[in-house]
Amino acid sequence: MKIGIIFGGISEEHLVSVKSAQEVAKHLDTTKYEPFWIGITKAGEWRLCDGPGPDWEDGDCRPAVLSPDRSVGGLVVPEGGRHRTIGLDVVLPVLHGKHGEDGALQGLLELSGIPYVGCDVPGSALCMDKSLAYVVAGAAGIATPGFRIVPPNEQPDPGRLTYPVFVKPARSGSSFGVGKVSGPDDLPAAVETARQYDSKVLIEEAVAGSEVGCAVLGNDGELTVGEVDRISLSHGFFRIHQESEPESGSENSTITVPADIPAETRVLVQETAKAIYRALGCKGLSRVDMFLTGDGTVVLNEVNTLPGLTSYSRYPRMMAAAGLPLAEVLDRVVSLALTGKDR
C-alpha cells in the first residue's frame, strides 16, 4: 500500500510535526506500507524526501505537488523537464496547527480524491476554532468554559472581567500565545501576544480543577479510547512543545497515565470524551482535553484532531497504556481512512 506521509508545515508547530513523523517512521510496518515522505518547509515548499530525519531538508529532496486532479490520484514530481506521477492509496497527515488540522489540507485531499487519515473539512475547522467548538459542544449538553470573543482591532474592557482569565488565540495549538491574566493591568499585553498567532482571540474564565485527557480512535460507530491521563502542575499553567528539552519532561508538569482518579470518574471522562468526539464530528483519531472539577464535572478544554505522535506525546502514551502500541494505532487509522473514503 502506497502511503503519503505529510509533515513539517508552515505553522509554529513545524518542529513538533517533524518529531511526530520521525516516531511514525520508527513504528510504520514497511512490510505493509511503502511510505512516500512529503515534507513541507517553513516557507511552504513541498518536497518528496527520503525520510523525516532532523536534517531532512538537506537530504535528497525533490519538489513535489499533491495534485487536486482526481485523474492523477497522487503526487506530481518534476524530473528533467518532464514530470512523473506517483499514485497514493492513502495519505497520513502528520501536521499540527494551522494549515494542517484546520481543514485547509483536508480540502486539498478531498479534491484529490485520495483517502486520508483523520477528521474531514468541517470537523477539522470546527475543532480548530475553540469558540465554535464550545458553542457546538454546549448545544450537545457538554460543559464548557465561559468565554468571550475579542474581534480584530477591538480592545476588551479590563474592568468588566472577573479574574483570573485565560487569553488564547482562537485557532492555534500547543499553548502558543496563551496567557493567564490575574488582573486588569496585564490584559492588553496578553491580548497582543495572542494576536501574534491569530486575529481572533478568546478570553476564557479559569476553570478550577485538574487537567485530564483522553485519546479517541474511530469513525461514526464504535469508538476506542485510551487510558485517561492527568496533568499535575508545579506552577503556572500547562504548556507543551515549548520546553527547552521536551523529551526529558515538561518543565512545570507531570503527566500520569493512567490517571490517578477513581474508576467511576475515569469512565465518566472517557464517556464525555466520546460524546465530545461525536458532537464535533471527529473521525479517525483525536485527543480530547478536559478539566475535571472538584465536584466531578467534566468540562471541555479543546480537541486536537491531529495530536502529537512524538516519543513524549500524550496520545500514543494513552493508547499504549490501553494496550494499543503506535504501530497498531497507525494500522487502525489507515483502515478507518480507507473505510470512510466516501465521506
**What residues contact 235, with CB distance under 8 A and at least 6 apart?**
252
Question: Annotated catalytic, 308?
Answer: yes
Nearest C-alpha neighbor of 237 from the set 340, 165, 302, 151 = 165
CA gap 294, 307 in Å, rounded: 27
Catalytic residue among 16, 72, 121, 333: 16
**203 vs 52, 149, 158, 182, CA distance in Å?**
37, 6, 11, 12
- Strand-pairing partners, residue 5, are 37, 92
- 241: which 3 cell numbers? 512543545
Catalytic residue among 4, 13, 18, 19: 19
CA gap 174, 266 in Å, rounded: 24
Residue 320 exposed, middle or buried by CB count within 10 Å (0-12, 13-18, 19+) = middle
**What residues contact 342, with CB distance under 8 A and at least 6 apart?**
none
Catalytic residue among 247, 264, 294, 323: 247
Question: Annotated catalytic, 19?
Answer: yes
Catalytic residue among 47, 230, 283, 287: 287
Q: Is the dihedral of CA 111, 113, 119, 122 positive or negative?
A: positive
- The dihedrals phi and psi of 211, each to the nearest 5 degrees, come to -90, 125
Catalytic residue among 303, 308, 315, 317: 308
CA gap 82, 13 in Å, rounded: 34
Catalytic residue among 130, 230, 241, 283: 241
Question: Annotated catalytic, 16?
Answer: yes
Query: Is residue 14 a contact partner of residue 42, using CB atoms and an 8 Å limit?
Result: yes
Catalytic residue among 96, 200, 230, 266: 96
Nearest C-alpha neighbor of 33 from the set 72, 73, 91 = 91
Q: Are strands 2-8 and 34-40 parallel, antiparallel or unpaired?
A: parallel
Question: Annotated catalytic, 82?
Answer: no
**160 vs 148, 155, 178, 190, 192, CA distance in Å?**
11, 12, 20, 16, 18
Catalytic residue among 312, 314, 315, 317: 312
**What residues contact 199, with CB distance under 8 A and at least 6 apart?**
152
Residues annotated as catalytic are: 16, 19, 96, 241, 247, 287, 308, 312
